[in-house]
Structure 1
Amino acid sequence: MVRGAAVSDEVGTALADGQPVVALESTLLVHGLPRPDNERIAHELADEVRAGGAVPATIAVLGGTLRVGLTDSELAHLARSEAVKASVRELPLAVAGGMDAATTVGSTAHVAARAGIDAFATGGLGGVHREARDTWDESGDLVALSRAGTVVVCAGVKSILDVGATLERLETFGVPVVGYRTHSFPGFYLTDSGHELDWRLDTPDAIARARQTQALLDLGSRALVVAQPLPQDEQVDPVLHDQVLADALAELRDRGVHGKDVTPFLLERFHEATGGESLRANVAIVRRNARLAGEIAAAASALARG
């Protein structure tokens, strides 16, 4: 358990009883979705986890208290707040400062693993930024996933990043990456990033067995990344995607945007230039991943009991 964390009654009871639980990040809620839709979508994601057979546990910092699982009133407060974005690096500062903070992929995975939650659903992972050879700009998510033993269900890495370099880094860190019913690594808004995966698993039970084996082999505390693509008829039009990305990257260079401001800048440009298509795809992604994570957690719980 994470020392100093407040665990909701529902999540605490589920963990004590060995029931399946799925962690959900809060950065998506605060910084990735428009208001007031973000609060409604947060409840929809929780419903998807429950439909998959598990208990949802949104992770965040409220008033300096790290919380694992939020009540409806806490979720509403967070959705309407100006919470800062807290990676593993910023997490202790937000807690010590008595702040409201939304957890990233990396910090959510870290807290979930230490709370005993073995499944986590998100949209797209952070990764190596384009032109990182010059800027050294790389998301802390990658290091965090090399240290946090959870199953992470995602739609690949955000397509605004250097997908190939990110996969290379995950390989270096020893983090397994499998495609869910595909050998093609998804590109977040796109069904296929153009990068092939060596491994695919086709059922939640198969993923649960792989995760159990990963733990039994004592290979260190590492995530198991499960990449689930959007169906082709739900992806953003690839031609539109590539044009918007090229324009946004050019604007980014002209304005000198760098560091942690790059991703929100590019995502905002996508939302504006695609007429909301990127937001529609983003919501579809996280809903599908929340359902699959619930199914994996349920399969893992049944496997442990069996």
Structure 2
Amino acid sequence: MAFEVAPEVQAALSENRPVVALESTIIAHGMPHPQNLETAQALEQIIRDHGAVPATIAVIGGDYKVGLSAAELFVLATEQDVMKLSVRDLPLAATQRRHGATTVAATMRLAARAGIRVFATGGIGGVHRGAETTFDISADLTELAETPVAVVSAGAKSILDIGRTLEMLETLSVPVIAYRSDAFPAFYSRESGFAAPVRLDTQLEIAHFLKARWELSPRGGVSIANPIHPADEIPAAQIEAQIKAALDEARKKGIAGKETTPFLLKRVNEATAGASLKANIALVKNNARLAAEIAVALSAQ
């Protein structure tokens, strides 16, 4: 096994130029082909267009990769047996020489090892609905408490218990910032029904916040919630019925653990006739844009 940073990414890091990490689960498990590959390529281009270097992260043939080639992106988008990797799964993929797509938590871990401080994703994981009996809580939250990476997302995924997710983030001392919003967003929706813990309105303010955060302590990340654009959103009241139906189906089929989120996203997309996939693509592009702008501001500090 090897830990490989792409030459372009390593050069940018060595020269203190802005770099933005991207996860790979969205490619292998979050979207159907060919939208997954098209989105992955578009995200990298958006980051370049806004002055930063993209670093999509994955495990390829057992090797940890920070920055992927076009051929490696294609493998993740088309292969059927790509593992879904949280942090605990990384050594297994390495020892078995497998391909693996990294979740938010695993992407954070590998990004931090490479020295990348800003990461764009769709939505963070969190406390699942019914966690009081299932104890299903994403490792994304504990990774945010440990790893010094700023995660730009559209908030917590709508399929989660967002109130409990925010409470858990508070318990773990993870700062939560909403960009230009008084409300905490819920992935497809601009408002979750919960207030944002902190509102900041400029990329420079966020960069100053991150600098102050890590000067105080090098440990722990920051969640930056970037609401989906109004023209692209699906209001919470409109999509909640489809989410509940997908959750009921998952319970009846005994789907749990790492298989839950891909199953729910697929079912919600089917129930909305593709509207949720369209919103997902729009929001992750919006997050990539903001992440690049924050990385540019942070590198200038």
Q: TM-score, normalised by structure 1?
A: 0.95
Equivalent in the alignment of 2:273: 275
Q: Is the 8 A contact 1:110 1:147 kept in 2?
A: no
Q: Is the 8 A contact 1:126 1:141 kept in 2?
A: yes
Q: 1:36 to 1:198 in 2, by over 3 A?
A: closer
Aligned AA (2:116): I
Equivalent in the alignment of 1:185: 184
Alpha-carbon distance in structure 2 between the residues aligned to 1:126 and 1:34: 20
| DSSP-derived class of the 2:194 partner | strand
Alpha-carbon distance in structure 2 between the residues aligned to 1:251 and 1:78: 28
Equivalent in the alignment of 2:213: 214
Single out whichever of 70-79 and 201-210 deviates more from structure 2.
Answer: 70-79
Q: Is the 8 A contact 1:186 1:192 kept in 2?
A: yes
Alpha-carbon distance in structure 1 between the residues aligned to 2:50 and 2:201: 16
Equivalent in the alignment of 2:130: 131
Aligned AA (2:124): L
Equivalent in the alignment of 1:249: 247
Aligned AA (2:52): A
Alpha-carbon distance in structure 1 between the residues aligned to 2:235 and 2:183: 18
Deviation of 1:79 after TM superposition, in Å, equals 1.6
Q: Is the 8 A contact 2:229 2:283 kept in 1?
A: no
Equivalent in the alignment of 2:227: 229
Q: Identify the match of residue 26 of structure 2 among 25, 28, 52.
A: 28
Q: Is the 8 A contact 2:191 2:236 kept in 1?
A: no
Equivalent in the alignment of 1:292: 290
Alpha-carbon distance in structure 2 between the residues aligned to 1:300 and 1:264: 33
Equivalent in the alignment of 2:88: 89
Deviation of 1:22 after TM superposition, in Å, equals 0.3
Single out whichever of 66-75 and 234-243 deviates more from structure 2.
Answer: 234-243
Alpha-carbon distance in structure 1 between the residues aligned to 2:133 and 2:30: 27
Q: Is the 8 A contact 2:23 2:104 kept in 1?
A: yes
Alpha-carbon distance in structure 1 between the residues aligned to 2:203 and 2:8: 24
Alpha-carbon distance in structure 2 between the residues aligned to 1:256 and 1:297: 41
| DSSP-derived class of the 2:191 partner | strand
Q: 1:284 to 1:71 in 2, by over 3 A?
A: same
Q: Is the 8 A contact 1:127 1:138 kept in 2?
A: yes
- 1:259-296 deviation digits (Å, cap 9, x = unpaired): 22221221111110000000000000110000100000
- 1:144-188 deviation digits (Å, cap 9, x = unpaired): 111110111001111111001111111111110010001200000
Aligned AA (2:265): L
Where does the alignment leave 5 or more consecutive residues of structure 1 unmatched? none
| DSSP-derived class of the 1:200 partner | strand
> How many residues are aligned here?
300
| Matched-pair identity in % | 48
Equivalent in the alignment of 1:43: 41
Q: TM-score, normalised by structure 2?
A: 0.97
Single out whichever of 271-280 and 251-260 deviates more from structure 2.
Answer: 251-260
Equivalent in the alignment of 1:77: 75
| DSSP-derived class of the 1:67 partner | strand
Alpha-carbon distance in structure 2 between the residues aligned to 1:231 and 1:296: 18
Equivalent in the alignment of 1:102: 101
Deviation of 1:75 after TM superposition, in Å, equals 1.5
Aligned AA (2:181): T
Deviation of 1:33 after TM superposition, in Å, equals 1.2
Where does the alignment leave 5 or more consecutive residues of structure 2 unmatched? none
Single out whichever of 127-136 and 256-265 deviates more from structure 2.
Answer: 256-265
Deviation of 1:233 after TM superposition, in Å, equals 2.7
Alpha-carbon distance in structure 1 between the residues aligned to 2:7 and 2:102: 20
Deviation of 1:237 after TM superposition, in Å, equals 4.2
- Please tell me whether residue 195 in structure 1 is matched to residue 194 in structure 2: yes
Alpha-carbon distance in structure 1 between the residues aligned to 2:23 and 2:186: 20
Runs (4+) off by over 3 Å: 237-240
